[in-house]
Amino acid sequence: MKNIKIDETSKTMSIKINPQLYSSSCVMRASYRFIDDFNVIVDGDPMSELIVCFKPKEETDNPTKEDWQELINIFYNELIHTSVEEEQARRYADTRNALIGAAMKTIIQVPPNKKQEKKK
């Protein structure tokens, strides 16, 4: 893919992401999954192009092309997962808020005997 650059001498990989396909919050959430094993840098312009750079934290790690390809596949799967989660959260926000509001009303309701005492 032309949007992926692997530099074997510096043991880094960078992926260019189209922000029209994946929001910056999706890219950040997907990148976060890898911070235990990689130093991850997210950079670029959220309006035109985001760049995610990965470098193994362990200096002794020497990733092969297959290792990088596996990381690419997992990263793109994570991007799709976070994108779908965001879309579902937006789609069902009104329903979720209505349910929470109804539940809160039942919890906060004043008992009937308290209402009568206030009228006196």
Asked if 42 and 51 count as a contact pair (C-beta separation under 8 A), the reply is: yes
* Residue 51: band (very low, low, confident or very high) from pLDDT cuts 50, 70, 90: very high
**Which DSSP letter does residue 38 get?**
E
- Please state which CATH number belongs to domain 4-119: 3.30.70.60
Domain extents for the chain? 4-119
* pLDDT value for 101: 80
pTM, full prediction: 0.74
- Give pLDDT tens digits for 82-93: 999 989 888 877
